[in-house]
Amino acid sequence: MRHCKSTTALAGLAFAGLAAVQPAIAEPSEELIAAAKAEGQLTTIALPRDWCNYGAALDGFKAKYGISINELNPDAGSADELEAIRANKDNKGPQAPDVIDVGFSFGPAAKAEGLLMPYKVSTWDTIPENVKDPEGYWYGDYYGVLSFAVNADLVTEMPTDWSDLLKPEFANAVALSGDPRASNQAILGVYAAGLAQGGAAGEEAGQKGLDYFAEMNKAGNFVPVIGKAGTIAQGATPVVIWWDYNALSGRDTLAGNPPVEVVIPKSGVVAGVYVQGISAYAPHPNAAKLWMEYLYSDEGQLAWLGGYCHPIRFNDMVEREVIPQELLDKLPAAEAYEAAVFPTIEEQEAMKGTVTGGWDQVVGANVQ
């Protein structure tokens, strides 16, 4: 499912290299719009309509430009997306994706393999430098941080940090949102715990995260179930370690039955970025470029924010005061994100092997 997609803040959290705020936002050219409309279709892949409010983004693009969208395999993962490009290099039919939305590390990998074409959207300068390829082959789109989604009917005293989850009152209560042997979201959950235990970024934090979950499992607090809104509601996993945007959306889905609180921990606040790219073999390259223009416009960025995914141009939009207050009011306090860290690709690779390779031996819990 998309929430296990392999990878892969708010005002006050600055990315390195953020360009100066732009006074105005450029629009796509009339020539590009005409060329995209002539192609008449866009093919996407791995975009569940309830993930980051993609349903609104897809419908908004169709309404604005009158271009139909072929939505392939919404629950695919990042690896599946790259495989779909490989498998359809010589196929211009409906199974060939035009665009991809993948975890951070998959962007450089796809570029190195020659699977992407470069394209710089008109808002390029407002995308932070450290989350985009300088040649335009891939670029960050949105991000979130790992949080605790808590069933407030079953948990009366909210956890505030990772250390709290080891306390006796959280017996048989805590779950990850995926299998840490395969799901990047879960892998980063282990990593975040390791950072909170004082582990250095990379392999050491991965090992300390394993030790932390081994202690949690031994104490009887860890539940080897993939946590989601349904398991929170059932009481099977009163606490789920989840991307904040998934947790907030899950809270809305449950609509108070039960009430869910979303807690950003005080330490070990790990952020994850996804990235966009256009297939080098896109059957509809102009529609793909126009889709990118839409996603990176204020309108597209606000669609993601409506699903609690923090758009990559968030800081620029805050400075220009174009984000509706009601959207800002739905988010956790900005101060909660000030300690967020964005693991580099190198750090992710270093800890990933440690976590996936050591989980069975160190923790010994079969998550399913």
113: CATH? 3.40.190.10
Query: Count of residues for the chain?
Result: 368
pLDDT at 15: 43
Task: Please check whether residue 169 is in contact with residue 157, taking contact to mean a CB–CB distance below 8 angstroms.
Answer: yes
- Residues with Cβ < 8 Å from 274, sequence gap 6 or more? 7, 8, 101, 102, 103, 104, 140, 141, 142, 143
Is residue 172 assigned to a domain? yes
Instruction: Give the pLDDT band of residue 105 (cuts 50, 70, 90).
Output: confident
Residue 30 burial by Cβ neighbours in a 10 Å radius (0-12, 13-18, 19+): exposed
320 and 296, same domain (yes or no): yes
212 and 354, same domain (yes or no): yes
For residue 212, the 8-state DSSP code is: H
239 and 166, same domain (yes or no): yes
- Token pair, residue 162, equals 């990772």
Residue 283 corresponds to which amino acid? P
- Count: domains in the chain: 2
103 and 172, same domain (yes or no): no
215-238 per-residue burial string, b: 16 or more CB within 10 A, e: under 16: ebbebebbbeebbbbebbbeebbb
pLDDT at 97: 98
Is residue 368 assigned to a domain? no
Q: Which of 190, 142, 143, 171 is nearest to 358 (CA)?
A: 190
Give the whole-angstrom CA distance, residue 329 versus residue 351.
35
* 247 pLDDT above the threshold of 80: yes
Instruction: Give the pLDDT band of residue 89 (cuts 50, 70, 90).
Output: very high
356 and 252, same domain (yes or no): yes
Give the whole-angstrom CA distance, residue 208 versus residue 324.
41
Task: Please check whether residue 368 is in contact with residue 225, taking contact to mean a CB–CB distance below 8 angstroms.
Answer: yes
283 and 319, same domain (yes or no): yes
Helix (H) or strand (E) holding 117: strand 116-117
222 and 159, same domain (yes or no): yes
114 and 251, same domain (yes or no): no
Is residue 51 assigned to a domain? yes
123 and 78, same domain (yes or no): yes
Is residue 33 assigned to a domain? yes
31 and 122, same domain (yes or no): yes
Give the whole-angstrom CA distance, residue 294 versus residue 302.
11
pLDDT at 345: 83
Neighbour count for residue 324 (Cβ, 10 Å): 11
Q: Angle at Cα 59 formed by Cα 251 and Cα 332, nearest 5°?
A: 30
Task: Please check whether residue 254 is in contact with residue 260, taking contact to mean a CB–CB distance below 8 angstroms.
Answer: yes
Is residue 82 assigned to a domain? yes
- Residues with Cβ < 8 Å from 284, sequence gap 6 or more? 36, 39, 40, 41, 42, 43, 98
Instruction: Give the pLDDT band of residue 25 (cuts 50, 70, 90).
Output: low
Give per-residue pLDDT as tens, 119-165.
999 999 999 988 999 999 999 999 999 999 999 999 989 999 999 99
pTM: 0.78
Range picked from 57-71, 182-196, 342-356 for highest mean pLDDT:
57-71
- Residues with Cβ < 8 Å from 7, sequence gap 6 or more? 78, 102, 103, 104, 105, 106, 184, 185, 188, 272, 273, 274, 348
Is residue 260 assigned to a domain? yes
Give residue 261's domain range.
144-271+341-363
267 and 278, same domain (yes or no): no
Task: Please check whether residue 2 is in contact with residue 245, taking contact to mean a CB–CB distance below 8 angstroms.
Answer: no
* 226 pLDDT above the threshold of 80: yes
133 and 82, same domain (yes or no): yes
Residue 9 corresponds to which amino acid? A
Instruction: Give the pLDDT band of residue 322 (cuts 50, 70, 90).
Output: very high
Is residue 151 assigned to a domain? yes
